[in-house]
Structure 1
């Protein structure tokens, strides 16, 4: 793993564990046992570091989705499996994402990237004749994740996640282009 990636991953950990205020170049150098000034060599400003974190979230999400998509063709099952993976193996990333998206000190362009870091609106819209249904699907997925993260929904099992997705897809049935997924969806 190169240093830029290691720094972005360490920043995710710091933000998830201690919040955005704890994120400093020095805290990353310390977490990685790098010489002082290493993080600032790669990312001059905190904004540069946050942009790297947002880009890393997009990269991780895409890689994980592609891996799952390689084994599943049914849209509802694929999305449910992806959400399950997010909720069971990516809580650090989720906590960091929410912390950054909710902090008014984070620049809007970075929050825009974060908003698309787990689910691609464009790819979801491609699933439907009417793009508004893609927007609804992303909102549903974001809501299912938030329900688990914030404790309203306790079940993270795939079947519990697949049911509302299947119901949504069935309701949008005439607008759905097909029941298979392009691996570039998130």
Structure 2
């Protein structure tokens, strides 16, 4: 990994563990064992750092989705596996995302990127003839994630996540191809 990626990962961990107030250039330098001023060299301001963290979350989410979509063609299963991966292997990212999205000190443009970091409305809309159905799928998935993160839904196994997604997809006409797959 390069230093920018290391810094973004450390920022995610700090925010998830200790909240937005703990996110300082000095705290990241300390967490990574970098010399003082290293984080400031790469990201001059906290706003620059937050923009990098948001962009990093988008990259991580897309990479996760693509790696799952390559091996599976059933849309409900792909989405459920993606959610399961996020809720089991990427929980720090989700916790940091929520903390940053809810903090009024985070600029609106960064919060907008964070809002799109887990699910791509554009790709979801590709599944349907009516874009509102793609919006609905994203809202459903956001709700499923929030239910698990905030403790309302206990089970985050693939089958439990797949059920409401499959029910939704059965209620609307879905195209046969998963967004992000080649071909």
Interval of TM-score (by shorter of Structure 1 and Structure 2): over 0.9
Q: Which residue is equivalent to 2:37?
A: 37
Name 1:46's counterpart in structure 2: 46
CA shift at 1:19, angstroms?
0.4
- The residue correspondences of 1:53-72 to structure 2 (distance < 5 A) are 53-72=53-72
Superposition TM-score, scaled by structure 2 size: 0.97
- Equivalent residue runs for 1:67-106 within 5 Å: 67-106=67-106
Which of 170, 177, 181 matches 1:180? 177
Give the superposed CA RMSD: 0.8
CA deviation after TM superposition for structure 1 residue 179, in Å: 2.4
Residue segments in structure 1 that go unaligned for 5+ positions in a row: none
The one-character-per-residue Cα deviations of 1:41-81 (angstroms, maximum 9, x if unpaired) are: 00000000000000000000011111111110000010000
- Counterpart in the other structure of 2:111: 111
Q: Identify unmatched segments of 5+ residues in structure 2.
A: none
Q: Which runs of at least 4 in structure 1 moved beyond 4 Å after TM superposition?
A: none
Aligned to 2:27: 27
Distance 2:179 2:144 in 1: 22
Question: What's the TM-score, normalizing by structure 1?
Answer: 0.96
Counterpart for residue 169 of structure 1: 169
- What per-residue deviation string (whole Å, max 9, x for no partner) do you get for residues 95-139 of structure 1? 000000000110000000000001000110111000000000000
